[in-house]
Amino acid sequence: MRLTVKWVRLRIVEMLKKMHPGNPKSTYVRVLAVTLWQVSLFLSLLWSLYCLGYQSAYLVLTGLPWLAWFIMEKMNGGPINHNSARNLMTYPLTWLVFACSLVGLLLLLLSPRFWISLYPILPIILVGYYGWPKIERYGKGCYACYKGTPKGPVKSCPDCSLEFAGGGWVGFKSHWETEHNNQEPYEKVWSYMCPDHRRKG
């Protein structure tokens, strides 16, 4: 029993180490997490539209100003400047679009179906909003931290533990590009290195 518990602990430690943000292969964790989130968001959006039924047309009404702005930018061939945007407010059609948007929003807020349709999609959006900064780190962490390289005054290669003279990283670039560049490009290793490891002794 003790051997089984010990084996499980070792497997968990190894798994967590592989999922360290500094591990280049942890990029796959980020890609997988983002893909799962996107699929979940798409499926929940389909379910929400199905739940709304014909009331999905209220979404179109609510989004009329953004749709009109998008069309005008496409016709203009670029962003609309502030003066042109102010001039648009002098046209009755502009106010009609805003009125339709307001009516669509009110109809949505008064519809019980709208609130029911939010149940699956809101948690997914919140997970993406708060989880994205953490997921984004995967594959962009400190390689030296992942390898457990000491943070002392004497700097050593994260991959082969070769120590560099002079209390700094002099010679690290040429050594890495010669010996370990097939493992991970030097530019990524150096740019993602944490301040504690990069600091000179």
* 84 and 161 fall within a common domain: no
As a whole number of angstroms, the distance between CA 193 and CA 143 comes to 6
* Dist. CA 76–CA 106, nearest whole Å: 31
Residues 190, 100 share a domain:
no
**Are residues 113 and 188 located together in one domain of the fold?**
no
The residues that bridge with 156 in the sheet, in sequence order, are 163
pLDDT confidence band for 42 (50 / 70 / 90): very high
Contact 58, 104 (CB under 8 A): yes
Alpha helices by DSSP H, listed for 53-183, are: 57-62, 64-76, 82-88, 92-109, 112-136, 143-147, 172-179
pTM tops 0.85: no
Rounded to whole angstroms, the Cα distance separating 192 from 144 reads: 9
Residue 147's nearest CA partner among 7, 21, 12, 11 is 21
Residue where a domain terminates, one of 136, 158, 183:
136
Based on the domain organization, do 153 and 92 belong to the same domain?
A: no
Instruction: Categorize the per-residue pLDDT at 13 as very low, low, confident or very high, splitting at 50, 70 and 90.
Output: low
Average pLDDT of span 118-131? 85
Same domain, 165 and 71: no
Considering the domain architecture, whether residues 160 and 132 belong to the same structural domain is answered as no
Residue 186: domain span: 143-198
Q: Which residue has the tokens 């150096």?
A: 190
- The reply to whether 95 and 152 lie within a common domain is no
Q: What's the helix, strand, coil split of the chain in %, to 5? A: 70, 0, 30
Kindly report, residue by residue over 56-106, the tens digit of the pLDDT. 888 888 888 878 777 777 776 777 776 766 777 777 777 888 888 888 889
Are 57 and 110 contained in the same domain?
Answer: yes
The whole-number pLDDT of residue 64 equals 81
- Distance set, CA 116 to CA 52, 57, 108, 127 (Å): 9, 16, 11, 19
Domain boundary among 88, 103, 136: 136
Contacts of 42 (CB under 8 A, 6+ apart): none
Domain count, the chain: 2
> Locate tokens 């050594």: which residue?
175
Determine the residue type at 177. E
